[in-house]
Structure 1
């Protein structure tokens, strides 16, 4: 059995209002987002909504501040020797309405949550689940088609939080006022668990503000909030404004996809060689240099090098070609397109606003113009030929990257052959054969040129040095409950 310590600190809303001084009172936190942050239902959550859902709707397991899996509704679990079954024992607690947490209700809620993910890459990540069944009153078993070492990490995702009568079981309660909210961790006795000594004295509330990133940074600089969560590359330049923020910027060690996804496989982009011309034209070193982030490396690979399942058989592209040679080849393909009676290519890209996005746009425009392609920008939610993708991997394995490019998720430009290799890999018993098939799948998807890699994503936060409960983690978002533990 695996057991992790569980802490259930909480305070009443009145304590939040009565606190005198930041050391005794609530912790002010700014979460980058908008109204969508409070729309925590459904399969496609905004990053801010993921944070709030994880805080208020527990799954079988969850994450701690460092991104490690910890107990949720299940307080312990075992994995069978063959890795094909996970058995969870639920805590002896209650739902918000006071009814007991039972395996039957947990199984029904988990099946419903997974069914709601249909059509998403996360659904593909969970496709290896054969069945979820009740073993005893408080015991749930998940049987797999083949071993999945990342199942616990997947079950800890916010989308796998379990609802009872459309409500979650915490660990935090939320009282909303417009785009602000007070979050307090639910006392253990209200969850049907033993009370903790000095519970109120060991905990604090969070005063949460959901706001645009510019306002959040200003609030931090002016001393009104102690934490800013949810920074991405589109706003990265804001993190360096003013002397106050420089020493408080925290970068997460994430991997994932940061590049251009082809969303309209027509016209100039109908041919793989022309889509490759875009990839050839990008000067990745110059683009990354505009941000001046140490250790940030460019890539031409779909899968991050060194993840589980990567044999290294697929390397960086065009290593023997200088940037000038790459651009010459791209320009030749554009010239061939025009010689066939077509107009000069004009390609649109959908991307978020922000100073970081502007830097990316300026570099891409210059790179594409150098080979005869005009690039225009449209708003993030608009239809476009390309979309700037900025996604953090949910687990560190090649399958996550390949599922993002599956034809079930990316219908405009994809590789059916790559999908077939991926399916074969997931069914392979031999680890070497599995990795080899994953390499073949990556090669096929790379050749389709439906995704143009640039680098790994960047995620940043602002955190004052005296704040506890924060730790950089590989998933790039930060669970709120640890912030509610009062520092000793």
Structure 2
């Protein structure tokens, strides 16, 4: 056993070669130039395109293109001083050009939940030299976390503004012409010289960094590559691929699970038929055995909740409690079955001897298959069957599996904003969020946010299950990887050699 473990540890973990990484996804989703990024694309974008600030391995905000920043005392303005480095095409990085790049990034997010998060930004001003100011309509304690998102990178013609340069590769020209699945999924990342990263030049700086070899693959292939010792790191794993991973005791040194905040549950997409009745929507939420549902995955970190906002957020005033605490599961399911039967007897023209049918859109993978099977089994006890929808557009329900970009109620509530037109929403909740954001006093804001959560909960537009789960596979020789609440693992720290 000792010999085998030594071989596994050594294989693929060479400290004198490239860092071999697999990002779970598809080439189209990872190498996109779009501003709507998959988890793998966020990791790649953060390595190659820089924002004013960035997230480090711990999920903390660190300098990027801005070397310093200073908030004003009233919290209504942030002053950023840019590094003295050029744009990739050699032109000067001025305050005006940086402002234009930031405004392009913000404008490109119109119609997304992230745009709602950025709504407090009232103006971006170019000041003297390399200084820009971001003015806010109300204090936003999480502004730096927002600016550190990969989507807020300052991109410019001529190349990459981040610390690393991306070179795309294909398996070979013949495969590329034949449309082989391997073609176009490989890439290499190389560090820029220190001066181009705004750092002092150092002799032999190349000796302290590694290039990164990127492969994009689905979870099954990524795990096989890791187990064979071909790669040192697998990133962007979710619940869909978790059953493919060995979660036994011998995996404890390689399987890393991030305990996150976020949304993991069912969003009601259509308000017709059965789901047009609020009492019936609540019945579905009442009937779910969340502990049993998550226990099928046999891994820690899956925390059940009946709240749309993750419990335990920093500064949570404790105004909102878990639902149905005075009812055991059997009582909840009995009440749910009565409501559904009553609705069907009044409105359903179909065969009442058969379960009512609902459809759901969700990802592909054994984990999602297991989740659907367990949900269907639980819903069968109240007279409902759940099936995968043939198209996302016509689904009754959508599985939400999103990690919060910042740990505050506003992120959660903005995911259901009526302006996004993604499904059922609550205009009353949106109005309370808007009122909260006008408050200068943060305790008054927290109170209004709690009221907004209560409104959203009362409308039952979202059926919470728990928090999202993210996993990675990490070889023992890789340094710079840290589990964090954002499930985000930047590549540059892992490609640096200890001095």
1:184 and 2:176 aligned: no
Equivalent-residue separation in structure 2 for 1:233 and 1:319 (angstroms):
27
1:429 and 2:435 aligned: no
1:154 and 2:146 aligned: yes
1:296 and 2:302 aligned: yes
When residues 416 and 21 of structure 1 are mapped into structure 2, their CA distance, relative to the original with a 3 A threshold, is closer
What does 1:383-422 correspond to in 2, within 5 Å? 383-422=394-433
- Aligned pair partner of 2:473 in 457, 462, 481: 462
User: For residue 254 of structure 1, what is the aligned residue in structure 2?
Assistant: 260
> Do the aligned residues in 2 keep the contact of 1:309 with 1:434 (CA within 8 Å)?
no
- Aligned pair partner of 2:226 in 211, 220, 225: 220
SS of the residue 2:445 aligns to: helix
Q: How far 1:379 moved relative to its partner? A: 6.0
Q: Which stretch shifts more, 344-353 or 392-401?
A: 344-353
What does 1:38-437 correspond to in 2, within 5 Å? 38-165=30-157, 167-177=159-169, 178-191=184-197, 194-240=200-246, 245-342=251-348, 343=350, 344-378=355-389, 381=392, 383-437=394-448
> Do the aligned residues in 1 keep the contact of 2:98 with 2:154 (CA within 8 Å)?
yes
> Do the aligned residues in 1 keep the contact of 2:267 with 2:423 (CA within 8 Å)?
no
> Do the aligned residues in 2 keep the contact of 1:40 with 1:50 (CA within 8 Å)?
no
Equivalent-residue separation in structure 1 for 2:437 and 2:375 (angstroms):
36
When residues 354 and 192 of structure 1 are mapped into structure 2, their CA distance, relative to the original with a 3 A threshold, is closer
SS of the residue 1:400 aligns to: helix
> Do the aligned residues in 1 keep the contact of 2:302 with 2:468 (CA within 8 Å)?
no
- Per the normalisation by structure 1, the TM-score is 0.93
SS of the residue 1:274 aligns to: helix
SS of the residue 1:311 aligns to: coil
Q: How far 1:432 moved relative to its partner? A: 2.4
> Do the aligned residues in 1 keep the contact of 2:13 with 2:475 (CA within 8 Å)?
no
When residues 226 and 162 of structure 1 are mapped into structure 2, their CA distance, relative to the original with a 3 A threshold, is same
Structure 2: give runs of 5+ residues left out of the alignment: 1-11, 170-183
Aligned length: 469
Equivalent-residue separation in structure 1 for 2:394 and 2:424 (angstroms):
15
Q: How far 1:104 moved relative to its partner? A: 0.4
Equivalent-residue separation in structure 2 for 1:376 and 1:56 (angstroms):
40
Equivalent-residue separation in structure 1 for 2:461 and 2:70 (angstroms):
40
Equivalent-residue separation in structure 2 for 1:289 and 1:431 (angstroms):
37
Q: How far 1:41 moved relative to its partner? A: 2.5
Structure 1: give runs of 5+ residues left out of the alignment: 1-19
Q: How far 1:410 moved relative to its partner? A: 4.2
What does 1:26-37 correspond to in 2, within 5 Å? 26-37=18-29
> Do the aligned residues in 1 keep the contact of 2:79 with 2:133 (CA within 8 Å)?
yes
Equivalent-residue separation in structure 2 for 1:277 and 1:144 (angstroms):
41
> Do the aligned residues in 2 keep the contact of 1:162 with 1:168 (CA within 8 Å)?
no
Q: How far 1:295 moved relative to its partner? A: 4.6
Q: How far 1:473 moved relative to its partner? A: 1.2
Equivalent-residue separation in structure 2 for 1:120 and 1:292 (angstroms):
34
- Per the normalisation by structure 2, the TM-score is 0.91
Equivalent-residue separation in structure 2 for 1:418 and 1:346 (angstroms):
29
User: For residue 17 of structure 1, what is the aligned residue in structure 2?
Assistant: none
Q: How far 1:38 moved relative to its partner? A: 4.0
Q: Which stretch shifts more, 98-107 or 162-171?
A: 162-171
Equivalent-residue separation in structure 1 for 2:50 and 2:244 (angstroms):
33
Equivalent-residue separation in structure 1 for 2:364 and 2:393 (angstroms):
12
When residues 166 and 375 of structure 1 are mapped into structure 2, their CA distance, relative to the original with a 3 A threshold, is farther
User: For residue 464 of structure 2, what is the aligned residue in structure 1?
Assistant: 453
When residues 384 and 91 of structure 1 are mapped into structure 2, their CA distance, relative to the original with a 3 A threshold, is same
Superposition RMSD in Å: 1.8
SS of the residue 1:374 aligns to: strand
Q: How far 1:280 moved relative to its partner? A: 1.2
Q: How far 1:25 moved relative to its partner? A: 0.9
